[in-house]
Amino acid sequence: MSEVQIKTVESPGELMEFITFPWQVYKNNPYWVPPLISERKTFLDRTKNAFFEHAEATYFLARRGTETVGTIAAFTNHKYNEFQDVNLGFFGFFEVLEDPEAARALIQAAEAWVKAAGHDAIIGPAQFSTNDEAFLLIDGFDDPPRALMTYNPPYYQAYLEAAGMTKAMDVWAYAIGVADFMQKIP
């Protein structure tokens, strides 16, 4: 097996690789709801997403030889830091095949970017804010998807914990059956 190389996304082709990589992670998984590629392209475009008026981001690919095996983004949200009176960097768009070495290399790349940007710590995963997909699924992998709730393979938790990350909070999603809901309406 070849060594993991981390590559900064620099070209439109690499950005498309970054955007479409999750299909490799979740192929044949009935619980993953893929994003719209056109929406994701706009969302990650620094000239089209208003987030970048107060933020910077770098996108990374992990490769073994010519095969992409993972992705991650590192970013700064200046409005968040100002409002919360903190100095944090963030990571998100973390997707990786079952490959602990690639996961470690991706997380280290994001941490290095955050440190070079002068931040005190890194938090995530988030896709630019908690108003978008954020957090890490640690239970309920066989439940139907919920709107705006993240989905990830079970092994992500171990990869993030192995990198020294700890859970900051619990986030819950609730479901109610339509029949139960209709009975409660007068």
d(CA 19, CA 36): 10
Contacts of 148 (CB under 8 A, 6+ apart): 132, 133
Counted residue by residue, the chain has a size of 186
pTM of the prediction?
0.91
CA distances to 5, 30, 81, 145, 150 from 111, rounded to whole Å, are 16, 32, 17, 30, 22
Question: What percentage of the chain carries pLDDT values higher than 90?
Answer: 72
Q: Which pLDDT score, from 0 to 100, does residue 180 have?
A: 67
pLDDT tens per residue, range 44-58? 999 999 999 999 999
Q: 41 pLDDT exceeds 90?
A: yes
Q: Sign (positive/negative) of CA torsion 28, 29, 30, 32? A: negative
Question: What percentage of the chain carries pLDDT values higher than 70?
Answer: 96
The DSSP 8-state label assigned to residue 127 in this structure reads S
Q: Which CATH class is domain 4-184?
A: alpha beta
Contacts of 58 (CB under 8 A, 6+ apart): 8, 9, 73, 74, 75, 113
